[in-house]
Amino acid sequence: MIFFCIFACEKLMTTTTKNTDKAMIPEPALRRLPWYLAYVTLLDERGIEYVSSTAISRELNVDASQIAKDLSFLNIKGKTRIGYEVKLLCHELQEFLGFKRRHNAVVLGVGSLGGSLIHDSGLAKYGLNIVAGFDIDQNIVGTSACGVPILDISSLEATISRLNVEVGIITLPVDHAQEGAERLIKAGIKALWNFTPYRIRAPRGIVITNTSIYAHLAVMYNRLDAQKRLDEYPS
C-alpha cells in the first residue's frame, strides 16, 4: 500500500454522522483519525477486543485526552475502565473516513508516479477505485495495468461520464497540471488529488487535496539538517 498513509491523512470528507457534520471536524483531528485506524486494525488482527485511549496514547504518542476528543466526532463511546470495542471502533473509523464507500477515480498522466498509484491495490481497500488511466503516449495507450485500461486523453470526458467518476488524480508534468485540472473539472470531476508541486486553481465547490512528494522531502531535509546542526553544536 504505497500511498495509503498519504491518502488516508489527506482525505477530506463532507458527509454527516449522528451529531456532527464531518466538514466541521478540525483538520488536525481528521488527519489523526487514520493513525488510530491503523493501530486498532492491528489490534483487531491480534484478537484484542478492547482498547483505551490511554493505550492508544502510549503507542502513538498522542495525548489521551486529545484522542478521546477526536473520537467524540464518531458515533461511538468507550466504556468506563474498559475502553472502546476494537471491532466497532475499526468499523466507525472506516465509515467516518469514507473508506467503506467506493469512489471511482481516474489517473491523468500514467508515468512512473501515475503507474505506481494504479498498481497500488491497497488503495481499493480504502474506497479509491481507479477505473482508468489517461495519457498521450501512444506506446502505452491501449494497454492496461493491473486490469485498469490506459486510454487516450481524447476519451477522457466520455469515460468520466460513463463510469460516474468523481475523483481525478493528477500526476502530470507540472507545466500541464492546471490545464489537466480544468479539463477534469469541465468533464464533471468533483474532487482533485494533485500530486504535482503546482498549486491548482479551481472554482468553489471543487475539493482539492495537494500531495506534493517534493514538499514532504523539503520538510524532511530541512528538519534533518537542523537536527544535524543541533547534534554538532549542542547548547
Distance CA 100, CA 90 (A): 11
Q: What confidence tens digit (pLDDT) does each residue in 221-235 have?
A: 999 999 999 888 876
For the domain spanning 4-97, the CATH number is 1.10.10.10
Q: What confidence tens digit (pLDDT) does each residue in 46-105 have?
A: 999 999 999 999 999 999 999 999 999 998 888 888 999 999 999 999 999 999 999 999
Q: Are 145 and 110 in contact (CB under 8 A)?
A: yes
| Residues in CB range of 29: below 8 A, 6 or more apart | 69, 70, 73
Classify strands 103-108 and 128-135 as parallel, antiparallel or unpaired: parallel
In the CATH scheme, what architecture does the domain 103-215 have? 3-Layer(aba) Sandwich (3.40)
pLDDT at 12 over 70: no
Question: What pLDDT, on the 0 to 100 scale, is given for residue 22?
Answer: 52
> What average pLDDT does range 16-21 have in this prediction?
37
Q: Where are the domains of the chain?
A: 4-97, 103-215
Tell me how far the alpha carbon of residue 34 is from its chain's centroid.
9
Query: Dihedral, CA atoms, 187, 192, 197, 202, nearest 10 degrees?
Result: 70
pTM: 0.81
